[in-house]
Amino acid sequence: MKITDTRQLDRSGLSLGVMSFDGAPIGNVLGRVTDDEAHELISSAWDLGTRYFDSAPLYGNGLGEYRLGHGLRERDRDSYVLSTKVGRGISPSSLSSRRASCMDTAPLEPSFDYSYDGVMRSVEQSLHRMLTDRFDILFIHDCDRHTHGHDQPEIFRQALSSAYPALESLRSQGVVKALGFATNEVDVCHSALKNTDADCFLLSGRYTLLEQESLDDLLPACQEACVGLILGGVYNSGILATGPVKGATFNDAPVPPAVRKKTARIQKICSDHNVPLRAVALQFAIAHPAVASVCVRAGNQQEQQFDAELFEYDIPTELWADLRAAELIRADAPTPGDVPRTTGHAYSPT
């Protein structure tokens, strides 16, 4: 597979590059990035063949959207796919009072707003920041328990009754082609499948070499409903990129002993076949028929280049067989080279 390959979302007809650009780093989420470095990351991704770019108002309190929009300004708008998210508004806040989640951002602060009018304002602001007249995908962002705790059921009801109808209105106006939810929780996707006609989900961290429980229900359900998945967090925030080294993280937290042990076993099999663990993590994620794209977070051009090379790395079929035999990946987990299933799919190869 090459990163220039595309998959078409059945419900919207959009074609997504199988390796997409995660706009969080250029919003200073991982650390300080200069304007020049952000521009270079966007240009490097483009030169590698990336044509799907994702952002969110949360990334740098609008900074990530601003930089991505300016970085793509001179590109033909019809030649790439652009997505962002709703559910947070950005408003001025003094430097002394704001709660900064990113480094070196403007005196602005996000606040949750899943109301109809709030979504309309958010999209208008994003259009201005990103210097565009339309989006290809809009996601309702973080209406999950991790973000909202005990308030999540009410937040999700508001997302269904107010935020989603706003997005449907924007779709009818031609401002957006596809609608979805961006979350790191499978339950949100299940509820959205039951209550909306969402085209796709951006799911972070729940289908990886270390987490395959979604094979039981979500992935087959998405495949049957022809709802595409864009996967983020395929390295589980780091350990599947670095291996079980000191300081590695699992889902943005210290690595539990059982996870560290399992990762070490996976890495040993990868080493036996002279294949980087990182390559196996990437290619495992994109192999499932429900997955349309893998959104890869790279903090610099070297990481970008490395991921692009690993995405196309030649992995022997024996490695996948060894992982299955050791019960490190499930028997029903698709791997590169498997014959695609014939009952339902989330995308069509293009």
Which tokens sit at 82?
């652009």
Measured between alpha carbons, how far is 266 from 329 in angstroms, rounded to an integer? 9
**CA torsion sign, 233 to 238 to 243 to 244?**
negative
Helix H, strand E, coil C: the string for the chain is CCCCCEEEECCCCCEEECEEEECCHHHCCCCCCCHHHHHHHHHHHHHHCCCEEECCCCCCCCHHHHHHHHHCCCCCHHHCEEEEEECEEEEECCCCCCCCCCCCCCCEEEEECCCHHHHHHHHHHHHHHHCCCCCCEEEEECCCHHHHHHHHHHHHHHHHHHHHHHHHHHHHCCCCCEEEEEECCHHHHHHHHHHCCCCEEEEECCCCCCCCHHHCCHHHHHHHHCCEEEEECCCHHHHHHHCCCCCCEECCEECCHHHHHHHHHHHHHHHHCCCCHHHHHHHHHHCCCCEEEEEECCCCHHHHHHHHHHHCCCCCHHHHHHHHHCCCCCCCCCCCCCCCCCCCCCEEEC
Q: Is 116 part of the annotated catalytic residue set?
A: no
Residues 6+ apart with CB under 8 A from 289: 223, 334, 340, 341, 345, 346, 347
Which residues are catalytic, by number? 59
